Structure 1
């Protein structure tokens, strides 16, 4: 079994380390993956589901999940959607341009705890990016897990992320179901919501872990459906997103009830945050 690297943040969590853009991958409309190489040495180890604070000089910082595999430390991948000033500036970068990274930060997907289980991954839109390192780890250690299934939904077929990797993931032992809100004349797949693929349940309810990332309303419905099908709320894991500043639970910007998304999350068991996710504007 490939051991999970021990996450190691930069020497000072306050000081960004210089990286250069090595490659830019056009993923889907308004989304690019930046492969970033450190100015010296290799990137620090991280665990699937963690994030970096990406510093764009003149614009500020944004929390971006790492989307590369845990053993790919010669370069880190960050899959970014333009959603504000910082992310918009990041998508205007060119190969060779420099930026800063702080991290890794946050609580990761609990992959070491779910060995032997069936694993159902449910993603919506760009929520597949924080799950991609987990997918790579699960497939690299395929014999240590039961049935693996990814259910992935997007607005349109053109918005499905990482489609070029689906064949390899399937060949490595993962079932994939894709669904869209609006199809096209060329789309032969499913049209509907991700929970359509949860019945009959694709796993053993008492031995299944659910990892989900996407819009919060989607994650709530995924969790509700999983609970109805016999999954314990503490075996359902959600990745939450909020604006972040310090990434260390000191500034309070990402406070979520008694939790801080940056240090207590972004990955939580649904049992821990279910009540909070029902509250509006929290």
Structure 2
């Protein structure tokens, strides 16, 4: 794993958010909405530095803030993209915002995917539902630096076609010749032309080879549990499996202790961990 990069110099006070403006929203599913946000000027956007996998705190003024991965890659700096699942007061208020509204942004926070050590290796992405958001960041980054990586395979699944985020990008992913994309849903659905089956089962059918490969996965906890078992059956070692945690963060800078797991803080030491690192932590997830 790479060391934590320095935070972008938002302000002397790490708790003080920068003002962002929503320039576009996308209703991904019935409960997931994507926000494209710009910070100040075009020059500020170009100066804003972050790495694939890092997160940010979005705040609704007068309500509160919550943590979301920046799911647009740093190779594309027209805006910062955050995809928000409606689950509580802050996310419900966020879902009520639209183009032109202002939000607070504290970012980047946390570590990032170890993309440097992945160079020259085959990459297997395994995403479930909203778990595709952080994987999308790394995937697009790798596609923008395609020569640095080996074979890229993507397995993306959801309960139904209507529960798949980023559906407008999937046709391009399916058509690209420099990657393989497999889509799956849990049960048959009218008009569905792709795989049907739970993600771990489809992964076993795909049977990616572990030699010189890294598996990157994110999704619901139950999916992760059985995906890890499937990867072990395929011969992947714990240090070849990378995931990113969604554990409630408060301060974002490792002070409040809200997101600690043993001696680690997800907001500083994570959210990206190898499975080898997770196995060294207390079972508190």
Question: TM (normalized to structure 1)?
Answer: 0.92
The question of 1:11 aligning with 2:11 is answered yes
Q: How does 1:263-274 map to 2 (within 5 A)?
A: 263-274=268-279
- 2:127 counterpart (118, 123, 127): 123
Q: How does 1:228-247 map to 2 (within 5 A)?
A: 228-247=233-252
In 1, the alpha carbon distance for the partners of 2:190 and 2:24 equals 33
Where structure 2 has 5 or more consecutive residues not aligned to the other structure, the ranges are: none
The question of 1:135 aligning with 2:139 is answered yes
Counterpart of 1:91?
95
- 3-state secondary structure, aligned to 1:19: strand
Counterpart of 2:106?
102
Counterpart of 1:185?
190
Displacement of 1:162? 1.1
Q: How many residues align?
A: 276
Q: Is the 8 A contact 1:118 1:203 kept in 2?
A: no
- 3-state secondary structure, aligned to 1:149: strand
Change (3 A) 1:49 1:34: same
Change (3 A) 1:114 1:60: same
Q: How does 1:202-281 map to 2 (within 5 A)?
A: 202-274=207-279, 276=281, 279=283
In 2, the alpha carbon distance for the partners of 1:33 and 1:9 equals 25
In 2, the alpha carbon distance for the partners of 1:243 and 1:252 equals 10
Q: Summarize deviations over 1:179-236 as a string: whole Å, max 9, x none.
A: 1123322223222211123235544312110100111221222222212222120110
- 3-state secondary structure, aligned to 2:36: strand
When the two chains are superposed, the root-mean-square deviation of aligned CA atoms in Å is: 1.9
Change (3 A) 1:274 1:217: farther
Q: Is the 8 A contact 1:238 1:268 kept in 2?
A: yes
Counterpart of 2:63?
59
In 2, the alpha carbon distance for the partners of 1:139 and 1:80 equals 24
Change (3 A) 1:195 1:24: same
The question of 1:49 aligning with 2:53 is answered yes
- 3-state secondary structure, aligned to 1:197: helix
Q: Is the 8 A contact 2:188 2:196 kept in 1?
A: yes
Q: Summarize deviations over 1:233-252 as a string: whole Å, max 9, x none.
A: 01100111111111111101
Q: Is the 8 A contact 1:147 1:203 kept in 2?
A: no
Where structure 1 has 5 or more consecutive residues not aligned to the other structure, the ranges are: none
- 3-state secondary structure, aligned to 1:68: coil
Q: Is the 8 A contact 1:68 1:77 kept in 2?
A: yes
Q: Which runs of 4+ in 1 moved over 4 A?
A: none
Displacement of 1:143? 1.9
The question of 1:27 aligning with 2:28 is answered yes
In 2, the alpha carbon distance for the partners of 1:136 and 1:179 equals 20
In 2, the alpha carbon distance for the partners of 1:216 and 1:262 equals 19
